[in-house]
């Protein structure tokens, strides 16, 4: 999917259940969740993506690789799919991105 002029790789399993967002850390990718994906998909609709600069997503030399921009990309991805409520599993850098989204939500 294209967001902010860059291709962002994502994987989605829409089973109609509650959405579980799986966020990778540094310096990995969405492949972190490949072994647990089938088990999680039995209970949740899943969404994961490779952050800008990671995995199969674009790595523009002049890209904005900040926490704020990665959170902007995640918000755009969720909006693209009409996702308004999520559960989250994350680690490492993914925790930082989610923390930014939580702060934005608290600010309104």
- CATH code of residue 19: 3.40.50.1820
- Rounded CA-CA distance 38/33 in Å is 9
Q: Count structural domains, the chain.
A: 1
The count of C-alpha atoms lying within 13 angstroms of the C-alpha of 84, restricted to the half-sphere facing its C-beta, is 1
- Rounded CA-CA distance 43/17 in Å is 7
Share of the chain above pLDDT 70, in %: 99
Q: Which residues contact 71 (CB under 8 A, 6 or more apart)?
A: 97, 100, 101, 104
- Rounded CA-CA distance 61/97 in Å is 21
Domain that holds residue 99: 2-107
Residue 34 has pLDDT above 70, yes or no: yes
**Model pTM score:** 0.94
């Amino acid at each position: 999917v294209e967001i902010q002029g860059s291709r962002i790789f994502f994987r989605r399993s829409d089973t109609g259940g509650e959405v579980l967002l799986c966020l990778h850390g540094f310096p990995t990718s969405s492949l972190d969740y490949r072994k647990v994906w089938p088990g999680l998909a039995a209970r949740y609709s899943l969404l994961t993506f490779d952050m800008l600069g990671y995995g199969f997503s674009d790595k523009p030399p002049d890209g904005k690789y900040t926490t704020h921009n990665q959170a902007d990309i995640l918000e755009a991805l969720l909006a693209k799919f009409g996702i308004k409520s999520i559960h989250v599993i994350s680690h490492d850098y993914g925790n930082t991105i989610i923390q930014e989204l939580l702060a934005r939500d608290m600010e309104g």
